[in-house]
Structure 1
């Protein structure tokens, strides 16, 4: 694959990923307003189990399919490439049946162990998704192996669209029209994942059949190589897929364990199952989704760092590697630090702004959001350092470091959630602990591998000065005007004023440069305008 086609493919998938994240993040806000913390507790209890099973069953196989198909395609063996697709399709179809059956029939036992039996309907509703996502994964791997990323991107967006629209509308209908209660409404939201998987699968099958004539013409040619038996193809797929799956499954499995610990520990200190479920819903359904918004910027940054670092590393141009590492890390700090402080300072106003229909749940979740907000800076650095390490050809390093962080997360969650005064906020502290440890370990790994020096002035002092000025202005605006204009308008204005002050302080202190802007999508145009105004240093 040429560098140009690789970058184009990466850009297509990155853009689709950002769109999917935006849709997913916004889905939870109206859903939370409708079903509240109790309903979100049921919904969020089923989700980690689903994601863990999905990751274990499919994480590495599309990559393996893509690799093997691309190898066959490189030597012109389209017949062999399509045969790999057919064998892998059969494998994934069987895996889908098994995992879907495990969740569907094992849901009762799982929710009893997790001590949240009200979540059973949600688990049953989401189980069919495990049948269709593996089918979709087979097609995605095949098309990606042919260097065609468009079908994957389209199916991802259609899948998420189906998930959000069907999930929300079904939950609304069940709750408000049929009066079925929160357990069933949450199940309706969970079924959105199955609906999304079905629509995404149908879309990618449609794309396949639209191109079927061309595909059949190519595979109808006489095989240019002796074809491998199906058993050998399966062995090769699993050889590639299993290590990838192990790495990808660490965080979902840890989240599944974490969900179980939180529910059991909350009930151990005296909360009823319904109260524990409500607190868990506040944490995972109200507070946690908000820390995903800053990620939309840092994910794009991490994606752009991989080819930039990789290309310079291949040329052994360590000067460029180090300058790119410095620039990427500084941007991560400049994005993550104000986002973190904003969530900490305005946790309660933001929650009330976003969840006006459930004020009690919103206020209850504010404490968890303030804690999770601190973790945004660490999460931004984790994503950025992961992109850097992947570009350096060390993709396992951030996986191992995140695993270490997750171990500390489980320990912290277990002990801190058992403290009555902290309760579910102990789990939030555990999450921040995991990201902090992973970020620190990744930092030292990057520093060791690249010998990069980080200026305290540029990486700490200037951003802290800017974010301090931002924080003071935000607090002043909010406390001064909230009684006059109310929470909604004052919160929006305070955020806008804070962003303006932060940007001006960065420009004044030289905390951000022209090169920094060029790392951000659309940054070149912004840099040009600011340069013409005399506000941007080179």
Structure 2
């Protein structure tokens, strides 16, 4: 019954979308990592440097260009679809698409003709980055338009188009980067960097073709329903629609701008305070690289699932909110928080225990292990923040997560200033400050989730997750010690990670932390997994 569970199509669609986006995120990350290795060999440090000078400008302009509108499209589309107002959903998309086309085109032109100005005024120190800026400018228009289609289809809780388009986009992006970087290298390193930058536009164009196909399919499916229900819902004024979109989108846009802003504050504060702690300029730069270039990306990689979960959660909550189903909102919030705990608690424990060998395996820099270990708790805190942000955005409270991020950023700046300058902490102080930043934002979000949904964390389930993660950690410790004399460090680390997943899953099953219903909701393999586990006597229904 509804008051007991949120099963059926809605719940299954919600989990399916999350898993599809997670799988796509992993594939995109793997392709991107391989590309970066090959591209670094083609361009060398100098060419990569030129590319990296232009790319942050592109990302900043892109965040302003899309302005959080795709999230707003997702929210309002989910509301309209839940009510059966299919014509209203289409009207929302058409108006927002026109707005994004205008913004994307305007910012593309601005970046193209402003590239020389950026170099003349020394915002970019090396004039050779000019060609990379020119090559990236068309991508702003294409990615902005692409994001509108993704937001619309996500509003219908259809995540497969986004996943497929992300993979296709990355494949075309990588192929274009490598081909044009190699072709233009004989003309000079600046042309090769420009050639590599063409990948962003080519990838976005390919992704847009994919999204247009899925959009056409959706429109064909809902056309008849739209015709039958066209007279039931009044035609909404374009001005009121655009006002609603802007009200929802503006805070999301501010949050996307806040992330690079906080990163720049770290750049100004952390190296300088490391020097106060007694480190040389070279040592401070190296330690800062361990934090921002190694530890933080590992945390982001470990939270791919919760990032996908948050994306799926926005339209799922918005749909329930539109029909006034408070119980369904609470149930979907509880399900999302439960999944967050199941995934991020063991990931945080494993990263804490294997910090040094993972740093050696991924970066060939075991020295980064200390920073990674401190930041490991951030896997849970960031996952919690992402999930609660998804809930609040789905409820239409898009400004609250941004305000909470601002409060957390102030805390982070203060802690960075004090802790990093302590010789006993140094860069670990910055890691603690980063963890505190994520924790403050997450728990402030959690308070507002409780306030608007009545959701309370299930402490019994949380305790089971923690206990299973503790048993898993003990298993990793014993296994690593036993295998160290038999396997190489890389083999030991990979085997320990695989063993950790198995031990955690088995312990959680034995504790009743995973049910048959949970596993059946896993797309494609759920039924087969249930049969195997039932045969082994590990599954509780």
Q: Is the 8 A contact 2:271 2:284 kept in 1?
A: yes
Per the alignment, residue 505 of structure 2 pairs with: 503
Change (3 A) 1:197 1:439: same
Per the alignment, residue 174 of structure 2 pairs with: 164
Q: Is the 8 A contact 2:19 2:305 kept in 1?
A: no
Per the alignment, residue 404 of structure 1 pairs with: 407
> How far is the alpha carbon of 1:494 from its aligned partner?
0.9
Per the alignment, residue 96 of structure 1 pairs with: 108
Counterpart CA distance in 2 for 1:312 and 1:341 is 34
Number of residues paired by the alignment?
Answer: 509
Over residues 479-535 of structure 1, what are the superposed CA-to-partner deviations in whole Å (9 max), with x where a residue is unaligned?
Answer: 332243111111111112222221222222233333443565554543443234321
1:193 pairs, out of 197, 200, 221, with 200
Which residues in structure 2 correspond to 1:350-429 (within 5 Å)?
A: 350-355=358-363, 359=364, 362-417=365-420, 425-429=428-432
Partner SS for 1:485: coil
Residue 56 in 1 paired to residue 68 in 2?
no
Counterpart CA distance in 1 for 2:513 and 2:160 is 38
Counterpart CA distance in 2 for 1:292 and 1:406 is 18
Change (3 A) 1:451 1:6: closer
1:332 pairs, out of 333, 340, 353, with 340
Counterpart CA distance in 2 for 1:372 and 1:299 is 18
1:471 pairs, out of 470, 473, 493, with 473
Change (3 A) 1:148 1:116: same
Partner SS for 1:535: coil
Counterpart CA distance in 2 for 1:119 and 1:273 is 26
Counterpart CA distance in 1 for 2:89 and 2:296 is 47
Residue 258 in 1 paired to residue 262 in 2?
yes
Q: Is the 8 A contact 2:154 2:312 kept in 1?
A: no
Change (3 A) 1:445 1:432: same
Change (3 A) 1:178 1:12: farther
Q: Is the 8 A contact 1:155 1:201 kept in 2?
A: yes
Q: Is the 8 A contact 1:401 1:442 kept in 2?
A: yes
Alignment root-mean-square deviation, CA? 5.0
Partner SS for 2:250: helix
Q: Is the 8 A contact 2:12 2:521 kept in 1?
A: no
Partner SS for 2:484: helix
2:297 pairs, out of 289, 309, 322, with 289
Which residues in structure 2 correspond to 1:60-209 (within 5 Å)?
A: 60-62=68-70, 74=86, 89-102=101-114, 105-106=117-118, 126-137=136-147, 155-167=165-177, 192-201=199-208
Over residues 266-292 of structure 1, what are the superposed CA-to-partner deviations in whole Å (9 max), with x where a residue is unaligned?
Answer: 553558887766555544443333323
**Which segments of 5 or more consecutive residues in structure 2 lack a partner in the other structure?**
1-7, 220-230
Over residues 210-255 of structure 1, what are the superposed CA-to-partner deviations in whole Å (9 max), with x where a residue is unaligned?
Answer: 999xxxxxxxxxxx9xxx9xxx96x667534433443223333233
2:484 pairs, out of 482, 499, 515, with 482
TM-score (norm 2): 0.73
Over residues 7-32 of structure 1, what are the superposed CA-to-partner deviations in whole Å (9 max), with x where a residue is unaligned?
Answer: 99988976774455224422453456
Counterpart CA distance in 2 for 1:390 and 1:76 is 20
Residue 248 in 1 paired to residue 252 in 2?
yes
2:25 pairs, out of 18, 21, 24, with 21
Change (3 A) 1:409 1:38: farther
Counterpart CA distance in 1 for 2:501 and 2:13 is 33
Change (3 A) 1:405 1:52: farther
Residue 529 in 1 paired to residue 532 in 2?
yes
Over residues 348-383 of structure 1, what are the superposed CA-to-partner deviations in whole Å (9 max), with x where a residue is unaligned?
Answer: 21232234xxx3xx3343333323321111122222
Partner SS for 2:385: helix
**Which segments of 5 or more consecutive residues in structure 1 lack a partner in the other structure?**
213-223
Change (3 A) 1:42 1:90: closer
Counterpart CA distance in 1 for 2:436 and 2:94 is 46
Partner SS for 1:484: coil
TM-score (norm 1): 0.73
Does 391-400 or 135-144 show the bigger shift?
135-144
